[in-house]
Structure 1
Amino acid sequence: MKKLIALVSGVASACALNTAYAQSSVTLYGIVDNGLEYQNAGAGAVVRGVSGGLFASRYGLKGSEDIGGGLQINFQLEQGFSGMTGAASNAAEAFNRQAWVGVSGGFGEARIGLQNTPQYIFMNPELDPVAVMSIGSPMNNFNSLTVRVNNAISYFTPTVYGLSAQFMVAMRDTTTKPTNGLQFYNAAVRYVNGPFRAAAGYEQAANVAGTSILKIFNAGGSVGVGAARFFLAYHTERQTDDSVKRDVYEVSGSYSFSSADQLSLMYGYAHDQTGKGNNAQQVGLTYSYSLSKLTTLYSSAGFIQNRNRAQFTLNGTGYTGIAVAPGADTRGVVIGMLHRF
C-alpha cells in the first residue's frame, strides 16, 4: 500500500511539474540585417558596409508565465549589435534596447523598465508604409523622436471597437538633472476599422541637463485599396529653448505585387518654423522581397534637397547617415538582406 501511495505521489508531482513548465515559455529571437550603401552629400561618394538598413540588428529573450486567473507575467531582454562587425551597439550595457517585466490580462498590459515608446511601436507603423524605417522614409530623416527610454512605466489598453491606446512615463535617475521626478511622457491612440487606420500621439521629453523640453505631436492615417495603401502623416516638434521649431508633412503609398513583396514611394517636406529658412524635402523609395518567412531582400533609395543651412542626411534604421554640409543635397541607395530567427 505504501509503495502504491509513493508511486501515485510521484506521478502527481511529475504531472504538476509538467503543468508548471507548460504554463511558462522563453524564446530566443533576433534579426541580422546587413547591406552595402552608397551615399553622396556633395563632397564625394562614400561606399560602405552597413548593418540595420531596414531593421536594426538585435537579439533577445522574451517569455511569459501563465499565473492563472487570466493573468500572465511577461518579460523581454534585447541587445542591439552590428551584423557587420559583431560589436554591441552599446558595449557598456548588457541589454541596451529592452529590459522590462510586466503583467497582462483582460485589463490590457502594464510594463516597467527599459522599453520601446508608444511612438515607436504604436505610431510609426501608421505614418508611412515602411513604419518610419530605412533611408527612404522622410519621417525617419526629418523627425526627432524617442525610440526607447529607461525607467519607464507603460500601460496598453485592450482594443475596443477598433480603438486602443498606449501611455508611458519615465523617471529621472542619476544620469539626468534633476535626479528625481518624471522626465518623459508619451501617449498614443490608434483606430482600425477595415481598410481604414488612423493614429495620433503626443510626446514630451526633457533633455539630460534639465534645461529644456522637446514637445512632439504626430498624426497619421491610411486607407487600403486592393493591393495598395495610401498614407498621410503630420509631425510637429518644438524645443522650449527655441532651438527646434519644425513641422513635417509626408504623403506616401505602397503596392504589393504579390504576397511576398512591397514597393513603397514616399515624399516628405520639413518646414523650419524658426524663421531661418532651413527647409528640406525628400523623395524616397523602398522595395522588399521575402525569400521566405524569415529572410527578406530589400533596396532603399533617397534624395534630400536641403535649403539654406539645413543639414538633413539619409539615416538607416540602425545607423546614422554621412555628414552633410549646410545646404548641400544628399542622395543614397542601400541594398541588403535581413534574416529573422
Structure 2
Amino acid sequence: MKTKLFALSVLSAASCAAQAQSTVTLYGVADSYVEAASAGNGNVMRVSSGGVMGSRFGFRGSEDLGGGLKANFALEAGFLIDTGASTGTTTIPTSTVPTGGSYMFQRLATVGFSGGFGSVNIGRQYTPHFGTMAAFDPAGFAMSGALNYYAGPGVGINGGSLADATTRRDNSIQYTTPTWSGFKASLFYAMGESTGAGQPKSTGDTLNVAAGYSSSTLSAQVSYMTEKTVYLLGNTDKYTDVAVSYDFGFIKPSAIFVRRRGEMTGAPALDAYQIGASAPVGVGKLIATYGQLKNKTTANADSKAIGVRYDYPLSKRTTLYAGATRISNSANAGYTISGGGGSSAGLALSSIGQDPKSVYAGIAHVF
C-alpha cells in the first residue's frame, strides 16, 4: 500500500512539474475612438476601432523542453470595438489563388521553437518589411501616423491587390537570430503554393531579409523583400526599407524610407517616407509625424500626410488619447485616414483627389 501511495505521489509531483513548465496566456487590446471628420462630402461623426492599436484577442503559450529549448505558439484574432465584428470574416485572400474563405485568426497563427540559436516560427505572420516600418513609427502605425495611410490597400506601398498583401503572409517560415551586441537579423520565406494553373508556380512566393541594431539610444534597421505578385502575373515586386531613430531623452526623432519597384510594365513604382518624433510631455507622450508618397508611375498621384497625437496613461494598461490628422492628395490620389493597421474602415472619400481630415479622441485598454 505504501509503495502504491509513493508511486502516486511521484506521478502527481511529475505532473505538476510538467504543468509548471507550460504556460498559456490570454491577451488582447480593446481600443475605440470617436472622430469628427471630413472627406469632401461634408462633416461626419463616427465611432471607430483601433486608434492607437488594432483591437484584438489572442492566445500565446510556450513549453519548456529543457536545455534552453522551448516550443511556442500564438493565435491572434482581430475585431472591431464599434460593431463587435471580426476583422477575419471579410474575405482576405492572401494565398495565391483566392478561395473565398474566412480567417479565424487573421492577425497571427504560428507555431515554432526558440532557444539559444534564436527562433523559428511557421504559419501566418508579419513580414520583416512591415515590422521595420511599424517599429520605427512613433504613432505605432495607427492614427496620426502618416506612413500608416500609405501602407495599402490599393496602390499604396503595400498594395496592389488583396491577394498579395505584404503586411502578413500565409504559409510562411521565419528565422530570427538571437541578439549579438545589439545586432539581430531575420530571414522570412512564404510559399505562394500555386498549382501553376494559369499562372507561374512561383506566384505568391515571398522572400524577406532584414537586419537591425539597437542600443539604449540608437536604433536602425534595413529590410529587402521580393514578392512574385498575383495582381500582375510574372512580375516581381521589390521593397527596400531603411529606418532609424535616436533617443535624446527629451525627444526621440525617427525617419523611415520605403522604396517599391516592380520588374514589369504596369507595376507600381512608389517611394514613401516619414519623419516623426515622440516626446514626454507631463505624464504622457506627444507624437507628431509628416510623410509623403511619391508615385513614379501615375502622374499627379502624390500625397502628403501630417498628424499629431497625445497619449495619456491612466494606468499601465489603460490609455486616453486625442489627436488630429490630415491628408493632402493630388488630383489622381485617393489615400484616406484609418486606424491601427487598417483595423477600422477608412474614411470614405467623395471622390479621388479629396483631402480627408480628422479630429479624434479615444481609449485603449490592454489586457
Q: Does the TM-score normalized on the shorter chain lie above 0.5?
A: yes
Equivalent residue number for residue 138 of structure 1:
146
Equivalent residue number for residue 96 of structure 1:
106
The answer as to 2:305 corresponding to 1:295 is no
1:254/1:167 CA distance change after superposition, 3 Å: same
The answer as to 2:134 corresponding to 1:110 is no
1:53/1:71 CA distance change after superposition, 3 Å: same
Tell me if structure 2 keeps the 8 A contact 1:308–1:326.
yes
1:303/1:210 CA distance change after superposition, 3 Å: closer
Deviations 1:232-271 (A, max 9, x none): 221111244434111112211111124x411111111222
SS in 2 for 1:6: helix
Q: What's the CA shift for 1:226?
A: 1.8
The answer as to 2:338 corresponding to 1:338 is no
Tell me if structure 2 keeps the 8 A contact 1:169–1:182.
no
Distance 1:116 1:294 in 2: 24
Deviations 1:144-197 (A, max 9, x none): 332211101000110001000112111123699556676112222111123111
154-163 or 318-327, larger mean C-alpha shift: 318-327
Distance 1:328 1:181 in 2: 35
Deviations 1:297-321 (A, max 9, x none): 1123211111231111112111242
The answer as to 2:291 corresponding to 1:283 is no
1:334/1:186 CA distance change after superposition, 3 Å: farther
Equivalent residue number for residue 47 of structure 2:
49
- The structure carrying a bigger strand percent of its residues is 1
Task: Tell me the percent identity.
Answer: 34
1:190/1:286 CA distance change after superposition, 3 Å: same
74-83 or 274-283, larger mean C-alpha shift: 274-283
Equivalent residue number for residue 25 of structure 1:
23
Deviations 1:263-310 (A, max 9, x none): 111111222212613212111112111111111111232111112311
1:249/1:174 CA distance change after superposition, 3 Å: closer
Distance 1:227 1:21 in 2: 45
1:277/1:182 CA distance change after superposition, 3 Å: closer
| 1:305 counterpart (321, 328, 339) | 328
Tell me if structure 1 keeps the 8 A contact 2:35–2:358.
yes
Equivalent residue number for residue 225 of structure 1:
248
| 2:259 counterpart (230, 236, 254) | 236
Distance 2:259 2:278 in 1: 24
Question: TM-score with structure 2 length normalisation?
Answer: 0.86
Distance 2:57 2:88 in 1: 13
Deviations 1:213-237 (A, max 9, x none): 3321111111111231011221111
Alignment length (residue pairs)? 336
Distance 1:257 1:305 in 2: 28
Equivalent residue number for residue 92 of structure 2:
none
Tell me if structure 1 keeps the 8 A contact 2:61–2:72.
yes
- Give the AA of the match of 1:116: Y
Equivalent residue number for residue 189 of structure 1:
211
Counterparts of 1:264-279 in structure 2 under 5 Å? Answer: 264-274=287-297, 276-279=299-302
- Give the AA of the match of 2:88: N
Distance 1:181 1:20 in 2: 44
SS in 1 for 2:11: helix
Equivalent residue number for residue 148 of structure 1:
168
Equivalent residue number for residue 329 of structure 1:
355
- Give the AA of the match of 1:191: Y
Tell me if structure 1 keeps the 8 A contact 2:223–2:242.
yes
Tell me if structure 2 keeps the 8 A contact 1:64–1:74.
yes
What RMSD in Å do the two structures reach over aligned CA positions?
2.0
Distance 2:182 2:116 in 1: 16
1:180/1:268 CA distance change after superposition, 3 Å: closer
Equivalent residue number for residue 14 of structure 1:
12
Consecutive unaligned residues of structure 1, counting only runs of 5 or more, are none
Question: TM-score with structure 1 length normalisation?
Answer: 0.92
Tell me if structure 1 keeps the 8 A contact 2:52–2:142.
yes
1:46/1:175 CA distance change after superposition, 3 Å: farther
Tell me if structure 2 keeps the 8 A contact 1:123–1:199.
no
Tell me if structure 2 keeps the 8 A contact 1:132–1:140.
yes
Q: What's the CA shift for 1:93?
A: 2.2
Q: What's the CA shift for 1:209?
A: 5.1
The answer as to 2:277 corresponding to 1:253 is yes
Equivalent residue number for residue 63 of structure 2:
65
Tell me if structure 1 keeps the 8 A contact 2:285–2:310.
yes
1:38/1:206 CA distance change after superposition, 3 Å: farther
